[in-house]
Structure 1
């Protein structure tokens, strides 16, 4: 991420890094989705969301790790959705704040100096590895790892904490891989389509397509 003044101060795991400059990845699942965020310090924030109408006794989510009475949970919906300028028609979600993806690996590299406005930085790089074994609850009935031709939904975005004349710009400016149409990352229907293929990069056959020929320049 290009950033001339790299800032990050939250260092505790699951701190609200979305209040700072961060990178965010959402992975859509069956009746659920997963949120991942990371800042330039490498601080990770994770949440597993389950639609309330899907978390029932006897369902596939009827597990100790998704027990609202025993886990650290919040509710996303209603008031919080209103703050995001929209309300999802499916309703509220259970937000499991203490859920950690098994085997998650992350790394951050800063190209510059952190929290030093006296110089100009290049930016910072985040690397994230989501292991397939950690995707089982998201996958539901889908195979893990995905098969050739399978399609998942994922969202890739970043947000910046900017100030103008000492006043924080609200809401924080954000960029996403595809257009949402509303300031809300929590809309799985807006996540990008990710197509899985058995081919490796560079294995696609040459289609033989050539750039169109240009006519002679007009005098």
Structure 2
């Protein structure tokens, strides 16, 4: 598998998108997170009744959505007025980690990663990585790496709680482990302070995805190390995710899953259907990628939609007719939704605007 490319500038660098058109056919996963009135103890033990009632997500798939991973990963979610709770069950016959410094590059170990975009415009989103030592790396990104962005490595998810429970022994090559459980409480207040959210997302959805990085390893002097090839280069990692991206790139937020935070208590049954307006957004992002391809090939932007696609664009049974407008700074593609009468706009930098 081709590695996800992460080069460090002062913290993190550019992650390339491999093939703009590969996202067709990839449908984001969705999950209903129920409210809990039970106190959730963040200890990795998942003993609360609320956790026993919560459903697991589908098992993770490889990031492109085409291969079944070697080891299983699945997640449960809950929430209350203070926190967003995540429980990850990670199958791993050799649980190891050696990074202990907060905000170091955690994906150099096997890790579990959380990506959150509260308003779904692909701008101003969050990443959290945690290894089996419970060492965290939390950061805030102004835009995806495909655009000129700012990465705030010194942003802290204030009040974050996490705990790891290992089913086996950590850093012991002499035995075979079952894996590890990670329990996380992310306070809404950390997003309210830095993102400007007025309150928790009651009966709303956020765009969320989860990733697991898993490395092949060698045992050197009794310790685990990432495996290298004959030339001394590290072998690429495996990238296993909840909602497949279609490309080896987690930083395409428009492809992340949907988590709907119902105000109903855990134990109820709520069905969430991805709104048709969201499917219009998917089509606009396809046009955005086509524009990027057009620029790369022709050294200029397209000036008409039929230069980007010859196909009729339909959402359900409705034909949508996007309008492309070029201007001195770039372009906008806009469309009026037949479902809500809202106007959706995507800009040359990928920002999504709703009016």
Deviations 1:2-61 (A, max 9, x none): 11111100011111110110000011134210000000001000111113xxxxxxxxxx
- Asked whether the 8 Å contact 1:180–1:190 carries over to 2, the reply is yes
8 Å Cα contact 2:228/2:235 also seen in 1 = no
2:242 matched residue in structure 1: 177
Report how far residue 159 of structure 1 moved: 0.8
Corresponding position: 1:144 with 2:199 = yes
Aligned length: 167
- Structure 2 match to 1:23: 112
Partners in 1 of 2:207 and 2:257 — Cα distance? Answer: 5
**1:131-175 CA deviation, whole Å, 9 max, x = no partner?**
1111115654x5421122x11101111110114895366431011
Gaps spanning 5+ residues in structure 1: where? 52-75, 78-87, 206-219
Q: What residue in structure 1 maps to residue 173 of structure 2?
A: 117
Alignment match, 1:153? 207
8 Å CA contact retained: 2:124, 2:195: no
Say yes or no: does 1:49 pair with 2:141: yes
Q: How does 1:28-177 map to 2 (within 5 A)?
A: 28-30=117-119, 31-51=123-143, 77=145, 88=146, 91-137=147-193, 139-140=195-196, 142-148=197-203, 150-163=204-217, 166-167=227-228, 170-177=235-242
C-alpha contact (below 8 Å) 1:178/1:191 kept by paired residues = yes
Q: Judging changes above 3 Å, is the alpha-carbon distance between structure 1 residues 38 and 191 closer, same or farther for their aligned structure 2 residues?
A: same
Kept after mapping to 2: 8 A contact 1:34/1:48: yes
- Rounded Cα–Cα distance in structure 1 between residues aligned with 2:249 and 2:207: 16
CA contact (8 A) 1:28 1:138 kept: no
Aligned counterparts of 2:110 and 2:218: Cα–Cα separation in 1? 15
Q: 1:138 to 1:193 in 2, by over 3 A?
A: farther
> What's the CA shift string for 1:183-213, capped at 9, x where partnerless?
11111111111112111122238xxxxxxxx
Residue equivalent to 1:190:
255
Q: Which runs of 5+ in 2 are unaligned?
A: 1-89, 220-226, 271-355
- State yes or no: 1:11 paired with 2:66: no
Q: Give the alignment's TM-score, normalised by structure 2.
A: 0.44
> SS of 1:18's equivalent?
helix
- Per-residue CA deviations over 1:62-114 (Å, capped at 9, x if unaligned) read xxxxxxxxxxxxxx73xxxxxxxxxx3xx122000111012111111111111
Which is richer in strand?
2
1:43 & 1:135 partners in 2: Cα distance?
21
- SS in structure 1 at match of 2:254: helix
